[in-house]
Amino acid sequence: MTVRLPLALAGRQGGALAGRQGDPRPGLSGVGGEALEAWLREHGEPAYRARQLQAAVWDGTTRAATEVTTLPRALATSVDEAFRWSTVDDAEIVQADGGETEKALHRLGDGLTVESVLMHYPARPGQRARHTLCISSQAGCAVGCPFCATGELGFERDLGTAEILDQVRSAQARLAKQEDGARLTNIVFMGMGEPLLNLDRVLEAVEALNDPAKLGLGARHITVSTSGVVPGIRRLTALGPQFTLAVSLHAARDALRDVLVPLNRRWPVAEVVAAAREHARATGRRISYEVTMIGGVNDTDVDAEALAALLRGDLAHVNLIPMNAVAHTPWQASPMPVIERFAGHLKAAGIPVTIRRNRGQEIGAACGQLAAQRAGEPAAPAVARRRQRLEAESARALLGERSSEPVPAGVR
Ligand code: SAH
Ligand code: SF4
């Protein structure tokens, strides 16, 4: 079933909409408890009103402060004038996998769009049903991994704390409607953007997700994925366990990783893994390594052996994910027997490995694909040039040549 609500996308990512001005009111979900209490004090209201408001923000059904019956009418009106109840619209909802996967395209106040994906995993013997939400941390991404639709869009801006949290509130509200009383069980920062390049806001959002007065989801049920921002990993290590850290590795050899994850030109794979290893040691929490399996590019025996040598003995788990086809690349997913063979090498080295199912292929459930499709396909000659360049770059990388391309612009 496909539900389409009107979405007037203008230009790439709808960036031209609303002249980028948007609504200046802060999103209520991103306002911390103390700041909200201070605002209420200024309006002559007691501190407990902050808790009433927060409970309504997270109850999944209330659409405005004026709907909160316990609030005085004048106060509710002032709240709605000062704050936005939500900073994201559900501009489009698309379902796939017989309703097990649901992708939402959210429009932000300035017309940009980001995505979240809600995945339902039915109950199995010994395991309750799970509802996992994949959310975005930035509009676009500066890292520019060539197999990723978000990378192709380029960087637009960081999301604010409320914009991150409101994706979760939107999904929680839809979930509660679908299944009476159902709650999100897992949240993964694996949508658009590089969370460790927007770490302050991501940490604020995680704190709210943990907060029993808000979503109340335990740190073990939250995963943040990074393409390898070493200073960000070190900062997380100093903070202690906040969530599961996933590292998008894709290749263990620098030459190939330079092409697949351009950030590797700044922080090479050995540095990334050393920082992740230290994080695992300091927090006692296993690192998840992600490898998007690309046919004939990073799925050879040599790659499997290099990965096994890199991670042998670490507190780590490897997820192998078949690549979702993306229009602008010349590449396809590795065939399943090749992925199984690759997994065999890792298992033989004692490294735990899981082959992940590719969810929502028909709706482009990989990172940024729907937003890229809605932004309009790039012109055919541009796609052909990009494919040629990727073929040449990856061929050189497979011969072991490091990239001479610069570090992506916008990576601080
Ligand atoms: N920027 C972060 C988090 C967002 S990307 C990161 O790269 O880790 C989340 C995951 O989606 C990454 O592991 C990324 O490699 C994966 N991904 C991106 N494009 C994909 C595609 N076309 N097929 C399969 N996985 C993809
Ligand atoms: Fe950015 Fe992650 Fe996509 Fe790479 S895979 S371009 S880091 S969102």
Ligand 1 contact, 323 CB (< 6 A): yes
* Ligand 1 mean position, distance from CA 31 (Å): 29
- What was the pLDDT predicted at 388? 73
Query: What is the separation, in whole angstroms, between the first and last Cα of the chain?
Result: 42
**What is 26-82's CATH number, 3.30.450, 1.20.120, 1.10.3470, 1.10.150?**
1.10.150
Phi, psi of 411 (to 5 degrees): -90, 115
Phi, psi of 254 (to 5 degrees): -55, -45
Ligand 2 contact, 141 CB (< 6 A): yes
Q: Which ligand is nearest to the CA of 195?
A: 1
Torsion of Cα atoms, 231 then 235 then 241 then 245, to 10° = -20
Residues 6+ apart with CB under 8 A from 16: 10, 111
For a mutational test of ligand 1's pocket, the pick from 292, 298, 299, 329, i.e. the residue with the most ligand atoms closer than 8 A to its C-beta, is: 292
Phi, psi of 59 (to 5 degrees): -80, -10
Ligand 2 contact, 367 CB (< 6 A): yes
Using the predicted structure, report yes or no on whether residue 3 has a pLDDT greater than 50: no
DSSP string for residues in 283-304: H--PEEEEEEEBTTTT-SHHHH
* Ligand 1 mean position, distance from CA 52 (Å): 38
Q: Which of 102, 70, 156, 148 has its CA nearest to residue 321?
A: 148
- Where along the chain do its domains lie? 26-82, 88-398
The pair of three-digit structure tokens given for residue 242, joined into one six-digit string? 């906040």
Residues 6+ apart with CB under 8 A from 188: 132, 133, 134, 135, 222, 223, 224, 225, 246
Using the predicted structure, report yes or no on whether residue 13 has a pLDDT greater than 60: no
User: What ligand 1 atom has the least distance to the C-alpha of 226?
Assistant: 8
The pair of three-digit structure tokens given for residue 48, joined into one six-digit string? 């407990």
What is the pLDDT averaged over residues 341-364?
Answer: 86
User: What ligand 1 atom has the least distance to the C-alpha of 143?
Assistant: 1
Ligand 2 contact, 334 CB (< 6 A): no
Least confident of 238-247, 275-284, 366-375: 366-375
Spatial distance between the Cα atoms of 131 and 183, rounded to a whole number of angstroms: 7
What is the pLDDT averaged over residues 115-140?
Answer: 93
Ligand 1 contact, 115 CB (< 6 A): no
Q: Which ligand is nearest to the CA of 321?
A: 1
- What was the pLDDT predicted at 231? 96
**What is 88-398's CATH number, 3.40.50.12240, 3.20.20.70, 1.10.1060.10, 3.40.630.10?**
3.20.20.70
Q: Which ligand is nearest to the CA of 202?
A: 1
State the burial class of residue 157 (Cβ atoms within 10 Å of its Cβ: 0-12, 13-18, 19+). Answer: middle
Ligand 1 contact, 251 CB (< 6 A): no
Q: Which pLDDT tens digit goes with each residue over 173-206?
A: 999 888 778 999 999 999 999 999 999 999 999 9
* Averaged confidence pLDDT in the chain: 87
What is the pLDDT averaged over residues 374-400?
Answer: 70
pTM: 0.90
Which residue numbers are catalytic?
A: 115, 367
Ligand 1 contact, 291 CB (< 6 A): no
Q: List for the chain the helix, strand, coil content (%; round to 5).
A: 40, 20, 40
* Ligand 2 mean position, distance from CA 143 (Å): 6
Q: Which pLDDT tens digit goes with each residue over 70-119?
A: 999 999 999 999 999 999 998 899 988 888 899 999 999 999 999 999 99
Spatial distance between the Cα atoms of 69 and 54, rounded to a whole number of angstroms: 14
Helix (H/G/I), strand (E/B), else coil: 151: helix
Using the predicted structure, report yes or no on whether residue 2 has a pLDDT greater than 60: no
Largest distance between two CA atoms of the chain: 70
* Ligand 1 mean position, distance from CA 310 (Å): 21
Using the predicted structure, report yes or no on whether residue 385 has a pLDDT greater than 80: no
Using the predicted structure, report yes or no on whether residue 400 has a pLDDT greater than 80: no
